[in-house]
Structure 1
Amino acid sequence: YLAPLGIPSTRHEKVKDRTNLVARIGSGSPRLIIVGHIDTVPAGDGWETDPFTAVEKDGKLYGRGTTDDKGATASMLLAARYLKEHESELGGEATIVAAADEERGSKAGMVYLVEEGIVTGDYAIIPDAASDMKKVFIAEKAALFTQITSYGKQAHGSTPEKGVNAIKNLMEVLQRIDRMTFDVTEHGLLSAPTYNLGMIQGGVAPNVVPARCTADLDMRYLPGDSAETILKKMEGICRDVEKELPDARFELKVTMADTPIELPEDHPLVKAIVEETASAVGAAPEIAGMSGSTVAKFCMTHGIPAVNFAPGEEHVAHMANEFVRIDSLVEFAYVLTRIVSRLLK
């Protein structure tokens, strides 16, 4: 698609067969990055069509990834065609990225591309939080994933007094963490911080006192709070329970952590998106925040101002019978060309 249009592109792989495609239009600065991702989550159950065959019906495309995120990536490529035709009018460089590995943490995708300096810029637009262009997401909560391991002593289930029950001890820790408070609980664009106990694994049989149990937790906290503060509270709970239950022993480790991000509402990138969208479709998108994490975070932590702005319906990503309206993809491509042209004057 790109080569016949005269758009140069390169392929990059940190992991074999996890390919990232990077295309560039124009040159110099400022530089605007537009990042879609081409991987998907598994199909799951409940589909009325083949999830990996695009099916067009009633002005919609059905299939896994149509909204998250191949539809938006197709819009980017459509916009790239127009931008190439008007390349002489650009006063900077537009970098189009079709990234891998977004659904699994982006280590082989945007993390790799940014850390290696393959992709860099002055602005970034991430069309990955579907809102039918009704929202510009300028803030994201931080994600802090932890695992707590409880160590006990194995014994026969008929003589539990001879063992130390790792599951029961861990329950005491988890109940206290459930009552734990965050230092920052309010934000103008983001919902309250959350805690989810996602997995518990322990024991070998009902008639054996469990000697080991692990729990995996997901915490999402707000700008102004910190992982260090939260971890200190969790460590304190573990140590308190160890003092109260002398045979208990706990180990806390971080399995994944990122940081909260927030871009000012009056940033030139935000203003360009809001004003050009309003001019093109007659309605300005709402300024918003999101609880999840996107590759905008990797851009921001490397000094590239980034926001999420995308076509597609909310709440259909990762679901059975995922779809996207075709007209929304065309409209997004048009709006995107206006935003790029403005930022790269």
Structure 2
Amino acid sequence: MTSDPLALAQALIRCPSVTPEDAGAIDLLIDVLTPMGFVCHEIRSATGGPEIRNLYARRGTAGPNFCFAGHTDVVPPGQGWNVDPFAAEVIDGRLFGRGAADMKGGIACFVAAVARLLAEGEPAGSISLLITGDEEGRAVDGTVKVLDWLAARDETIDACLVGEPTNPRDLGEMIKIGRRGSLNARLRVIGTQGHSAYPHLADNPIPRLIEILRRLTEIPLDQGTPHFQPSTLALTTVDVGNPATNVIPAEARAGFNIRFNDLHDGASLTSRIEQTARDAGGQVEVTVEVSGEAFLTPPGRLSDSLVAAIRAETGLTPDLSTSGGTSDARFIRTICPVVEFGLVGQTIHKANENVAVADLNGLTAIYHRLLVDWVGA
């Protein structure tokens, strides 16, 4: 199982580990990694919710410590499957199952790559795996807790590869070297209810809400950077909740999401939103939640090494991208250089999620080349 990515991917998929359930996935990895010489540590955490199981496994004590990060939890299967989402069937050269691409297949490929490296001799450096069960959920009891645990032990990671499915269509198309930040904001503009025939006796909150939104959206946040597209502000809801035609409402609400590049951070955008609300006058409540800051791992040794491995195995030169949503790389970037590269993501979170078996073998070969470059003898 250890050197065959398909067999391990099938075994992991057959663990129905829908967040926050583990369903045996972490135990399976411990059983596979321990005979390979990894020292496995289970880190459990429950912050106001169900307990999450996480794993940090390391082989070796010398530097550099090259880490693979991933998650065994998956989203619910949903409706519309033509096969059992947890049976891990291979049909016409493709592996079907929830988590095949996102991202149990990637974990299996990395473990298989390590097994092939060990068959060639003892590595000069260390190899580690940081596996969480809380990436698809709240992400408060997963990677961040493992990083806290590592910090308490004074254990360092020198470089990290996150095995998210980064490729749009073909294996080798895209590496993620950063991610945009994400901010969700809600506005509550408070006025005074009144009769629509006597507007002078009321304080209508709707025009003030419209004015705030106009000021926030009329000027682009920026024009982008060499590695990031322009930041975007998307309105997601405008609510008054007023069924009457002759009543001026007492309040009006709106929500929006900002995906921002590294010209901004959550604090600067929050300040901008709050100032815009104050400038509009009246009573306005602003609530902001930042789910991730923008970050960039500038092109360098880690991305160069991965590009070389991809070229050697696929003949493709991957784009160095910062597109897409958030991932756990947003936490890991605080301790070491991090990039993301995995399988093709066309079917992630969809019914009939699947990957090509050939891509499992291809990704294993790419990961193997990367490991040889970083920790090989």
Same fold (TM over 0.5): yes
- 2:349 corresponds to 1:311: no
Corresponding residue of 1:82: 116
Corresponding residue of 2:231: 193
What is the TM-score normalised by the length of structure 1?
0.86
- 2:376 corresponds to 1:342: no
Q: CA RMSD in A?
A: 2.6
Counterpart CA distance in 2 for 1:177 and 1:47 is 42
Residue among 204, 212, 233 paired with 1:173:
212
Corresponding residue of 1:289: 322
CA shift, 1:202, in A, is 4.6
Counterpart CA distance in 2 for 1:221 and 1:331 is 33
The one-letter code sitting in structure 1 at the alignment partner of 2:253 is: T
- 2:82 corresponds to 1:44: no
Q: Residue 66 of structure 1 aligns to a residue in which SS? A: coil
Residue among 272, 294, 302 paired with 1:269:
302
The one-letter code sitting in structure 1 at the alignment partner of 2:56 is: V
Corresponding residue of 2:103: 69
Instruction: Check whether the contact 2:192–2:204 (CA below 8 A) recurs between aligned residues.
Output: yes
Q: Residue 174 of structure 1 aligns to a residue in which SS? A: helix
Counterpart CA distance in 2 for 1:211 and 1:84 is 68
Unaligned runs of 5+ in 1: 243-247
Counterpart CA distance in 2 for 1:53 and 1:174 is 49
Counterpart CA distance in 2 for 1:213 and 1:222 is 30
Instruction: Check whether the contact 1:67–1:130 (CA below 8 A) recurs between aligned residues.
Output: no
Corresponding residue of 2:53: 19
Distance 1:26 1:191, change over 3 A: same
Corresponding residue of 1:245: none
CA shift, 1:339, in A, is 0.6
> Per-residue CA shift, 1:214-236, capped at 9, x if unaligned?
33321112222344443333223
Counterpart CA distance in 2 for 1:294 and 1:13 is 20
Counterpart CA distance in 2 for 1:108 and 1:36 is 14
- How many pairs align? 335
> Per-residue CA shift, 1:88-147, capped at 9, x if unaligned?
531211111221211235221111211332674010001114312321211222222222
> Per-residue CA shift, 1:128-180, capped at 9, x if unaligned?
14312321211222222222222233457887765444455423322332213
Corresponding residue of 1:126: 162
Corresponding residue of 2:186: 147
Unaligned runs of 5+ in 2: 1-31
The one-letter code sitting in structure 1 at the alignment partner of 2:141 is: A
Corresponding residue of 2:90: 56
Instruction: Check whether the contact 1:114–1:120 (CA below 8 A) recurs between aligned residues.
Output: no
What is the TM-score normalised by the length of structure 2?
0.79
Corresponding residue of 2:253: 214
Counterpart CA distance in 1 for 2:77 and 2:249 is 36
Instruction: Check whether the contact 1:7–1:84 (CA below 8 A) recurs between aligned residues.
Output: no
CA shift, 1:78, in A, is 1.9
The one-letter code sitting in structure 1 at the alignment partner of 2:109 is: S
